[in-house]
Amino acid sequence: MELYADIMIDISHSELDRTFQYRVPEELRGELEPGNVVEIPFGRGNRPTKGYVLRLTEQPSYEPEKIKEIGRIVTDLAGAESKLTALALWMRDYYGSTTVQALRTVLPLRQKAASKEKKTIVLKLSPEEAQEKLEFLKKKNQKARVRLLEALIAQPRLPYEIVTGSLRITSLVLKAMEEQGVLACESQHVYRTPQLIRKLLEEEQAAGMKNMPKVQREGLKCEEDFQEVRDAGGQREADALEFAGAGRGAEVWNGGSVSRAAGSPGTPAFVLNEAQQYAVDEICREWQSNPLGKYLLHGVTGSGKTEVYMELIAYALSQGQQAILLIPEISLTYQNVMRFYRRFGDRISILHSRLSQGERYDQFERARNGDIDIMIGPRSALFTPFQRLGIIIIDEEHEMSYRSEAVPRYHAREVAVKRGALEHARVVLGSATPSLEAYYGAEGGDYRLFQLPSRAAGGELPQVSVVDMRQELQDGNRSILSRELYRKMEQCLSTGQQMMLFLNRRGYAGFVMCRSCGHVVKCPHCDVALSAHRNGRLVCHYCGHEEQPVKTCPKCGSSYIGGFRAGTQQIEEIVAGAFPQARILRMDADTTRGKDGHAEILHAFSNREADILIGTQMIVKGHDFPEVTLVGILAADLSLHVSDYRAAERTFQLLTQAAGRAGRGEKPGEVVIQTYEPEHYAVVHAASQDYESFYEQEISYRKMSGYPPAGGILGIHCTSRDQELLEMAAGYLGRFIRQAAARYQVSVLGPADEAISKINDIYRKVIYVKHEDTKRLIALKNKTEQYIEMNEGYRTIGIQFEMN
Ligand code: ADP
Ligand code: ZN
Ligand code: ZN
């Protein structure tokens, strides 16, 4: 029996989204697997071309005589790669994308970036010999050689860059002296260290022992180890601090010294409390019997979820398995990352979006080679090619950043569950405000639920008060700061404590609100806010409904109605005017543009370099500032009216998380929520930090209206530079789907303009399809894909599917 392989042409270059069949030569049988990269003769000239093996089969799909043979295997990829390929194919089918797009998402780093080498110049003479040689060179007046030898006598190991750089020694001189046996040039492979990690480690070093927890302080040796290495390097240049990956005999400073100081990777920093221990015990108890276990850890902010993750990771390691921990990019901060380094040291790698291609590739390579066991990072870390994956943990699983905006538009939670199933890895979700999906899943028995109801380090949840901004206006206060918040700010500053002001601007989309009564103009069909367009017309982004603009409030007649506009900068000015002595830091898209902008601002704030931190949603996530005793939430309800069925959920999450920033230390915290809708259930339940009540109300709304997780919703997004063409294409597509819909019994909304109807001159429209059963939506999606495929007219239209 012959064996054939379906092969995809090199995913990093080709746009060809089809497979070609090749014969598997005798010698590759038993060796070749799906996921292998192979070299194949391609095209008329039989040019050697790279291809991806997707499937092996004994059935030729056309005349066997005409099928060409595979040349050779290019990279030898073991099991993990094939499973990731399978995952990619599932993503293609579930989310709708081409095979190439799916593969590139899962295996984004096919082309190997040149790896970096670190070269060191080493003195090979004894001190006496060196002195002798030096005299000799001086006599001969060989200045460059004298300079180099003097430097080497002072410092027997010098980085190559220093020698050729500030010492200005040419490679000819180096070569000559090497031949004379004076010195040697040693080189070693170094993994490119992500900037962030290096910076964090430097900061830690700079901060010294000052802010370190006990475990760290005990490890004084760590400081000395580091000092030695630095002395050996002889200078403070960045490349001397290059942190080489372990596993390849890297002698330079590595994270390992941090971990050694903290003890073995099995040692937790605390005795876990009862709730933490229960979760850990139960999950470990089921480890063998239920490798497909799925768990949800619902714990208020500061309840010690991270400690639980670390225990579980340690357990996975003890079982010879590996772990992936996803955390939102924004939480990749100094404090968080260091906790993991202290415990696990160099068995960890960290991804973040600012890594270069090469750096990212290196980190995946380390995982593939078994040099690390733990990968921490945002959603793309999910695709780390571990061979023995034991657990996937998703922290803050409700975060929006887990959904990819690029095709395939996947959600990390769903893909994690799928990968877990394919590779027999447990999945643990954690959140203070679980997504409706996760909690609904827990209710239905899909996830086992663990509750961590109180703060681990002690301390009460903050005192929350809600201020009705309509009342403020009535009482003649037209400032953006309510009287109560103002008073509390004064108090906070006078006692030398810190505060955060959070402006809720999520998904700000120009909706129209009455400042007098809080009324928001909504679509009569969809229960979402209408958006004001430039021409003044009010438009629904779900169904396309339009209305005339309003001049006075239809509810109370007030003329204080219009779009809500206030930025962080404006707030900064107002606060600076009101409290001239206060030191203010602002964190938003403008102030965080630099490479590690976020980290710098957060670090400055935690060093008490400012009294007030003003920012958008960026400031509410996962940071722990013990000195913050007051949190002010401005425009709490701004996110309630975003045209998205998740608006209430997002608002609840934001408010709860923001409130959770207050009183994390010993001093109790206070929170002021300013809103035009104090009676909205998202505001009410956030103020009382009552997730269950919020969930009950929200899920009944979702059930009633057929939105996820109670029902499925498929978004079909269409884009084009040509507005008319888009109009027509979306119209035809809408008609086709409505026809098909009759058979699938789904309901169809749109086409309508997207919430942002034009980006970079590209027009955008969307059609929504709803049904309880996701399977039906997938079937309809597949039908639609075929229809699009068959119709030339759609070639120039961008079409993306988005599930739920
Ligand atoms: P979460 O991830 O739920 O926000 P963390 O794990 O960050 O919570 O814990 C919050 C704080 O409580 C941290 O400062 C942590 O060091 C501390 N902590 C966690 N578990 C314990 C424990 N069992 N005993 C004492 N302190 C703890
Ligand atoms: Zn009104
Ligand atoms: Zn509508």
- How do residues 409-464 score in pLDDT, each as one tens digit? 899 999 999 999 999 999 999 999 999 999 999 999 999 999 998 888 777 778 89
Determine how many CB atoms are found less than 10 A away from the CB of residue 249: 8
What dihedral angle (degrees, nearest 10) is formed by the CA atoms of 300, 340, 241, 352? -60
789: region left, alpha or beta (phi > 0 left; psi from -120 to 50 alpha): alpha
Q: Which ligand is nearest to the CA of 556?
A: 2
Ligand number nearest CA of 530 is 3
User: Is there an atom of ligand 1 within 6 Å of 666 CB?
Assistant: no
Asked whether the predicted pLDDT for residue 313 surpasses 50, the reply is yes
Q: What is the mean pLDDT of residues 473-483?
A: 87
pLDDT at 273: 93
**Confidence class of residue 339 from pLDDT cuts 50, 70 and 90?**
confident
Question: Please, what is the end-to-end C-alpha distance for the chain in angstroms?
Answer: 45
How many angstroms is it from 537 CA to the middle of ligand 3?
14
458 Cα–ligand 1 center, Å: 9
Please list, in sequence order, all residues whose beta carbon lies within 8 angstroms of the beta carbon of residue 35, skipping any fewer than 6 positions away.
52, 53, 77, 81, 82, 83, 84, 85
Outline where DSSP puts E strands in 193-266. none
Strand runs labelled E in 396-520? 426-431, 448-452, 463-468, 498-503, 512-514
**Of the ligands numbered here, which is closest to the C-alpha atom of 657?**
1
Condensed to tens digits (0 to 9), the pLDDT of residues 487-531 reads 999 999 999 999 999 887 654 456 788 878 878 888 777 666 777
Report which ligand 1 atom has the smallest distance to the Cα of 271: 23
User: If you average pLDDT over every residue of the chain, what do you get?
Assistant: 80
Q: 457 CB less than 6 Å from ligand 1?
A: yes
Q: Indicate whether 220 pLDDT > 70.
A: no
pLDDT category at 582 given cuts 50, 70, 90 is: very high
Handedness of CA 274, 275, 276, 280 (dihedral sign): positive
Is the shortest distance between the CB of 336 and ligand 1 below 6 Å?
Answer: no
Among 306, 338, 431, which is best to mutate for testing ligand 1, by the most ligand atoms less than 8 A from CB?
A: 306
The model's confidence at residue 245, banded by pLDDT at 50, 70 and 90, is very low
Dist. CA 509 → ligand 3 center (Å)? 15
90 vs 297, which has greater pLDDT? 297
Reply yes or no on whether the pLDDT at 642 is more than 80: no
Please check whether residue 605 is in contact with residue 661, taking contact to mean a CB–CB distance below 8 angstroms.
Answer: no
Average pLDDT (324-347) is 80
The pLDDT confidence band at residue 234, using thresholds 50, 70 and 90, is very low
Distance CA 753, CA 543 (A): 8
Question: 538: pLDDT confidence band, cut at 50, 70 and 90?
Answer: confident
**Phi and psi based region of residue 387 (left: phi greater than 0; alpha: psi -120 to 50; beta: remaining):** alpha
- Taking a C-beta distance cutoff of 8 angstroms, is the pair 391, 398 a contact? no
Q: Which atom of ligand 1 is nearest to the CA of 339?
A: 16
What are the tokens at 272?
Answer: 């876990």
Pairing of strands 712-720, 762-771: antiparallel
Q: How far apart are CA 643 and CA 530, in angstroms?
A: 7
Residue 709, ligand 1, Cβ within 6 A: no
Q: Do 92 and 101 touch, CB atoms closer than 8 A? A: yes
Percent pLDDT > 70 in the chain is 81
Three-state SS for 324-341 is EEECCHHHCCHHHHHHHH
pLDDT at 200: 54
Calpha distance 469→680 (Å, rounded):
14
- Report whether pLDDT(486) > 50: yes
Task: Check pLDDT > 70 for residue 739.
Answer: yes
Nearest CA residue ID for atom 4, ligand 1: 302
Which range, 52-61, 263-272, 403-412, 734-743, has the best average confidence (pLDDT)? 403-412
Is residue 301 within 6 Å of ligand 1 at its C-beta?
yes
pLDDT recorded at residue 257? 31
605-634: pLDDT as tens digits:
888 999 999 987 777 765 678 888 999 998
Task: Give distance in angstroms: CA of 470 to centre of ligand 2.
Answer: 9
The closest-lying atom of ligand 1 relative to the alpha carbon of residue 301 is 4
What Cα–Cα distance (Å) separates residue 83 from each residue in 37, 96, 264, 292?
A: 14, 19, 32, 16
State which of 145-149, 183-187, 662-666, 753-757 shows the largest mean pLDDT: 145-149
Q: Is the pLDDT of residue 91 over 70?
A: yes
The closest ligand to the CA of 529 turns out to be 3
Nearest CA to ligand 1 atom 14: 457
Sign of CA dihedral 762, 767, 773, 779: negative
Percentage of the chain exceeding pLDDT 90? 29
Please count the CA atoms within 13 angstroms of the CA of 254 that sit on its side-chain side.
20
> Could you tell me which residues are beta bridge partners of residue 158?
121
Residue 301 has pLDDT above 70, yes or no: yes
- For residues 231-247, one letter each, b for 16 or more C-beta atoms within 10 angstroms of the residue's C-beta and e for the rest, the string is ebbbeeeeebbbbbbbe
Q: What is the pLDDT of residue 376?
A: 93
Q: Is the CB of 270 under 6 A from ligand 1?
A: yes
CA of 117 to the centre of ligand 3 (A): 59
Lowest pLDDT segment from 79-83, 269-273, 316-320: 79-83
pLDDT at 424: 93
Q: Is the pLDDT of residue 711 over 60?
A: yes
More confident residue, 209 or 351: 351
Looking at all shown ligands, the one closest to residue 304's CA atom is 1
Predicted local distance difference test score (pLDDT) of residue 758: 72
Tell the burial category of 761 from Cβ atoms under 10 Å away from its Cβ (0-12, 13-18, 19+): exposed
Q: Separation of 769 CA from ligand 3 center, angstroms?
A: 14
State whether the beta carbon of 305 lies less than 6 angstroms from ligand 1.
yes
- Residue 273 Cβ < 6 Å to ligand 1: yes
CA distances from 377 to 105, 324, 411, 576, 786 (A): 15, 8, 15, 37, 36
> Within a 13 Å sphere around the CA of 791, how many CA atoms are in the beta-carbon half?
16
Task: Answer whether 12 contacts ligand 1 (Cβ < 6 A).
Answer: no
Q: Is the pLDDT of residue 286 over 60?
A: yes
| DSSP 8-state symbol, 94 | I
User: With 80 as the cut, is the pLDDT of residue 577 above it?
Assistant: yes
- Is the shortest distance between the CB of 396 and ligand 1 below 6 Å? no
Which is more confidently placed, 533 or 655?
Answer: 655
Residue 337 pLDDT grade (very low, low, confident, very high; cuts 50, 70, 90): confident
Residue nearest to atom 25 of ligand 1 (CA): 457
Give the span between the Cα atoms of 25 and 3, in whole angstroms: 8
pLDDT per position as a tens digit, 120-166:
899 999 889 999 999 999 999 888 899 899 989 888 888 887 788 77
User: Residue 329's pLDDT is what?
Assistant: 74
